[in-house]
Amino acid sequence: MKIQGIVIGLVLLSQSGFSINYPAKKGEGHIGISYKTTSYTSVFDQDGERKSSPKTQSSQWILTGNYGLSNKFNVSLYAPLSIQNKVKSNADFNVGKDLENSGIGDMEIGIGYSFAEQKKLIATATLKQSLGFGKNDQKEGLNTGYGDYATSLHFDLHYQLNTHLYFAGSTGVRKRNKGFSDDFMGEVLAGWHILPSLDLTGSLNGLFPFENGDEKVNGGYYGLYRNNAGYMIMNTTLSYNYNRIAGIAVEYNDYLKGQLIGAEPIFGIKLFYVIKGKEKTEDKQTEPETTPEKK
């Protein structure tokens, strides 16, 4: 059996542009479109305490995809095509009217290399480059990204215990620009291949800033793309696929702790299409032919 559970489970993770990277095989991959939204009236401050804020809503439409150039090299895309930020008027916070801003976010392209592969274990390294299309200087602080053209390097492990259970882990570092702090990223995941068409995954995702940026650079207001933002967040995703061709996934994300970021859950839904490579002749054979041993 191919690592079907890992393929279906991991390609659906879209909590962030730096979630676990699955190495697609030659001619295979996926493309998906997702919608994510959160609404909150509190943010985590610099010390991780919850503080009241004006009601803020942030929603995104995100295009994701990956594709295997060969069995070793693959490319990936994470593209927030539209980010909509809204803040309700609140006299206590000197917000005299409803505020609204929308725009494109920071896209990210990556190239990955599978440097170790066994029957149940795959190790990859992925280099990612953000395209700083997001606005980090929006007049009223409703930023749509950092706009800093950051570069990150990730290392990932994928392990299939059996036909139903699989695990993955990822670590990475990101070098930022424009005075924003560099940061460290990590994620661990467990997946359950319940049925041929149904997967359930749970993960713990962390972002930890080094706080080595310019102290004068703040980023957006109301927890929107702030400098030194960090968090630990739990993700649960349930995905359904039809014959490994197309499917739908729903996800729920809840913060365990945070810093300079909104403090309420994030909800998401995703539609995806699986790109299949050409079926190899040897895959069609259920049993190889045997020939008499030559003497």
In one letter, which amino acid is 275?
A: I
89 half-sphere exposure, CB direction, 13 A CA radius: 4
Is residue 33 within 8 A of residue 63, CB to CB? The reply is yes
Helix (H) or strand (E) holding 292: none
Give Cα 98 distance to the centre of its chain.
30
Q: What is the mean pLDDT of the chain?
A: 88
Query: What distance in Å separates the CA atoms of residue 91 and residue 101, rounded to the nearest whole number?
Result: 20
Nearest to 84 by CA among 110, 105, 65: 105
Q: Which residues contact 30 (CB under 8 A, 6 or more apart)?
A: 11, 24, 64, 65, 66, 272, 273, 274, 275
pLDDT at 243: 86
List strand residue ranges (DSSP E) for the chain, in order: 29-44, 50-68, 73-87, 99-103, 107-117, 121-131, 151-160, 165-175, 183-195, 198-209, 230-242, 246-259, 261-262, 266-275
If pLDDT is split at 50, 70 and 90, which confidence band does 25 have?
confident
What is the per-residue pLDDT across 193-241, written as a single tens digit (0 to 9) for each?
Answer: 999 899 999 999 999 999 999 999 999 999 999 999 999 999 999 999 9
- The residue-averaged pLDDT of 247-276 equals 95
- The encoded tokens of residue 83 equal 């980010």
In a 3-state reduction of DSSP, which class is residue 244? coil
What is the per-residue pLDDT across 56-112, written as a single tens digit (0 to 9) for each?
Answer: 999 999 999 999 999 999 999 999 999 999 999 999 999 999 999 999 999 999 999
